[in-house]
Amino acid sequence: MSEESKKEEPFDLDRLKNLIELMEKHGLTQVDLRHGNERWQLQRGPQEVMQVMPTAAIPAPVAPAATAPVPTEAAPAVPDDGSIEITSPTVGTFYNAPSPDEPDFVSVGSKVKPDTIVCIVEAMKVFNQIPAEVSGEIIKVLVKNGDPVEYGQPLFKVKPV
């Protein structure tokens, strides 16, 4: 194999953008593509994970230090009052409506199902619709329109049904 063929090709951002647009257009939440030594894994939704990695030469994961607790991904947080928190899956700006002149997605008293869109979190000019992922009634809105939010920050409290 010549030195030319061993060089990595530049990352194709146009192909990635087109793939994301197709996922949104067709309502796909996960795509896993392989072509030769290249593998593209994309997932959209609550976790907002996008990875592009080669299939060969993946280094083994390094074990975390024994003193540091390992964060685990769990079901929605359940506060002491029996409610369930809907949390932000990403860092960004919270919007409670699709646009300033439209009504809020949900408010206190709204009934939600797992696929009910409760808000939008904008991150780097991408507007991510956030589904409730639980069934119940909104009992409290914890952030204001336009507020910055962090990953895992509680946005709503829901009384489960």
| DSSP string of 64-87, one letter each residue | PPTTSPPP---SSP--TTS-EEEE
| In a domain? residue 68 | no
Give SS3 for 134: coil
| In a domain? residue 151 | yes
Number of domains present in the structure of the chain: 2
| In a domain? residue 5 | no
Q: By residue range, what is the domain housing residue 140?
A: 84-160
Q: What is the pLDDT of residues 67-115, one digit of tens each?
A: 544 444 444 444 567 889 999 999 999 999 988 899 999 999 999 999 9
| In a domain? residue 30 | yes
| CATH code, domain with 152 | 2.40.50.100
- Whether residues 153 and 88 fall in one domain: yes
| In a domain? residue 140 | yes
- Whether residues 116 and 154 fall in one domain: yes
| In a domain? residue 74 | no
> What distances in angstroms separate CA 13 from CA 9, 20, 65, 128, 157, one per listed residue?
12, 11, 35, 19, 38
| In a domain? residue 71 | no
Q: Is the pLDDT of residue 118 over 60?
A: yes
**How many whole angstroms separate alpha carbon 85 and alpha carbon 41?**
29
- Whether residues 46 and 98 fall in one domain: no
- Whether residues 91 and 133 fall in one domain: yes
- Whether residues 50 and 88 fall in one domain: no
Q: What is the pLDDT of residues 14-53, one digit of tens each?
A: 887 887 888 777 777 777 777 777 777 777 765 444 444 4
